[in-house]
Amino acid sequence: MSDWTDWTQNRRIADAEEALDAERRARSRLSEQMRQQQGNLQGQLDRLTRAMVALIEHEDIRAELGQHADAATCRRYAREVVATVVVTGGAALRETAEPGDVPGYWLAAAARGVAAVANGETSGHGLLEAAAQRDPARTALFLSLLAAQTRDPRWAVGPFERVVPDQAEVSVAQRQLWLAVADDRLAAAEPALVAALTRLLDADRDAAAQRVAEWLRGQVPSGTGRLDSERAVAQLQVLQRLLTGERLPGDEPAEPGETPEDPLADTLRALVDEGSPAEGDILDRMAAARADLGFLDERVGARGATWSTPAGDVLDLLLADLAEPADSGRHRLARRVLSPLLGTTADRLATEATAGVAPTRSVSVVGQTIDVEAGGALRDWRPDVLAAAARRSPRQPWLLQGGLAALAVGVVAIGLAFVAGAFAVLAVAALLGGAAAVVTALNQARRQRTAQESAVRSADRQVTQLAATITDETARSTSAATTASALREAVRAQLG
């Protein structure tokens, strides 16, 4: 009866503990949910606070922008002018209301100048000159982008030195004009572009040549066992393939990504939408406020790719264009600019390929150096190797002599033992000691002989292998030098 009572009581205690654990878990889950809800509510409250602040700031910024309404009107007019010129060449501009001038704002004069020239009015060139005086770089860029998009020579008036790259880092707008020149959309700017790119490369030609060499090395598949001359040949082969427009091994076409339908139009739109000098900061603040309010603002979305955003390094872009098909304008322009560098690189690689291999090399066996050439060892190495192996596994000559002497004493002692029994002990000791010494001496001689034979076999094998390697590499190096010379001539012919 007592056992049943104890079991029942223990069962009730266990059930109570399980219920208590379940209650603790439920309270823990409830606390976690409450914390999450509190965090969500706090996040929503923070977002609501930011939106309220942004809304107030948005209204203030709108009031500030109201002071520049004439500049905004000018931008709308400029967009309409550009769109009409691109589509019709300017035939429908006569019905467009022209805004007033905005002092100091280059776009005000440039847009009205383009409209006047498109309509055949003589005042247009004067307005474009006024825009160039207000901002020479932006005016030249505006007209060049318009010329590239329309292929209309009326806008390709230059000076193009203001729009081509003037430093190693190229902007988006400069890159778009560069590509337009390559595609023959702005052929009048090609001399200025080639001169600018060449001048940038000449500013540090040694560093540019080193970068081209590193880039070529990166195009060659890595692998062991290649000679320096063979690596030079492989790089020359890559260079020749590039110049002929062949696709390099492993250079698969990239998957099409999300690219603008008309990068030139997007760049021109970004330049027009940039705003006047007085309102540029205000427009940025407006874009940030609209983003806090949850609106997708074009100015915010385009911040990472405005017309002045860096598009890449001059040399990197040239090498990327060189990998384009040989019949493309990009490849043609890149090859024209890089021709001196590529010719120098081809000469250097051909020279490296003629360096050859070392005609004599060495192997080390048991501490002995053996000089080897294609025909074998330069001298008889066996005596030195045998002596070195003997020193590494020495033997003690006196052991054999002492052992034989001890055996002789033992034999004599055996004869004397018949006369005096005490000589029996001496005979046993002499015989045992002599036998041990003789056995030890014979073992030492055997180990030394084995070591010498092993050293000779190893040396002979290494000398034979190294001689064969020198012969093979010499033949490969000679073949590589011949191939490199032919490749250099082919590259030089392709470069003109």
289-345 tens-digit pLDDT: 556 555 544 444 444 457 888 889 999 999 989 888 888 899 999 999 999 988 888
CB 128 within 8 A of CB 146: no
Residue 440 falls inside a structural domain: yes
According to the model, what pLDDT value does residue 219 have?
82
| Helix, strand, coil fractions of the chain, as percent rounded to 5 | 75, 5, 25
On whether both 445 and 406 belong to a single domain, the answer is: yes
485 burial level (CB within 10 Å; 0-12, 13-18, 19+):
middle
| pLDDT tens per residue across span 414-428 | 666 666 666 666 666
322 in the same domain as 197? yes
Position 318 scores a pLDDT of: 92
Residue 12 covered by a domain: no
Residue 447 shares a structural domain with residue 468: yes
As a whole number of angstroms, the distance between CA 233 and CA 239 comes to 10
Tokens of 250: 């492993």
Q: Is residue 117 part of a domain?
A: no
Strand order in the sheet with 376-377: 361-365, 368-373, 376-377
pTM metric for this prediction: 0.69
Angstrom distances, CA of residue 194 to CA of 16, 143, 213, 324, 391? 88, 19, 22, 18, 73
Q: What is the pLDDT at residue 430?
A: 62
**Same domain, yes or no, for 365 and 483?**
yes
Q: Is 407 within a domain?
A: yes
74, part of any domain: no
Are residues 316 and 383 both part of a single domain? no
Report H helices in 67-154. Answer: 69-88, 106-118, 123-134, 136-150
- Regarding whether 435 and 388 lie in a shared domain, the answer is yes
Looking at the structure, do residues 313 and 230 belong to the same domain, yes or no? yes
215 lies in a domain? Answer: yes
Residue 302's pLDDT is what? 41
pLDDT of 93: 63
Domain boundary (324, 353, 382) is at: 353
Q: Which one of 353, 388, 416 terminates a domain?
A: 353
Query: In this predicted structure, what is the pLDDT of residue 333?
Result: 92
* 99 domain-assigned: no
pLDDT by residue for the chain (496 residues), tens only, comes to 456 566 666 666 666 667 667 767 767 776 776 666 665 666 666 665 665 555 555 555 554 544 456 777 888 888 888 888 888 876 566 666 778 887 888 888 888 888 888 888 888 888 888 888 988 988 999 999 988 888 888 887 767 888 888 888 999 999 999 999 999 988 888 899 999 999 999 888 889 889 988 888 888 877 667 888 888 888 888 888 888 876 655 555 444 444 556 888 888 888 888 876 656 555 565 566 556 555 544 444 444 457 888 889 999 999 989 888 888 899 999 999 999 988 888 889 888 888 878 888 888 888 888 888 888 888 888 888 878 877 877 777 766 666 667 667 666 666 666 666 666 666 666 667 767 666 776 776 778 788 778 878 888 888 888 888 888 888 888 888 888 888 888 888 888 7
Same structural domain, 320 and 171 = yes
Q: Which residue segment(s) compose the domain that 312 sits in?
A: 162-248+262-353
pLDDT computed for residue 294 by the predictor: 56
End residue of a domain, out of 353, 382, 417: 353
166 and 314 in a single domain? The answer is yes
Count of the separate structural domains present in the chain: 2
- Give the burial string for 350-369 (b: 16+ CB within 10 Å, else e): bebbeeebeeeeebebbebe
Indicate if 210 and 310 belong to the same structural domain: yes
Is residue 226 in a domain?
Answer: yes
Note whether 313 and 366 are same-domain residues: no
Residues 242, 374, single domain; the answer is: no
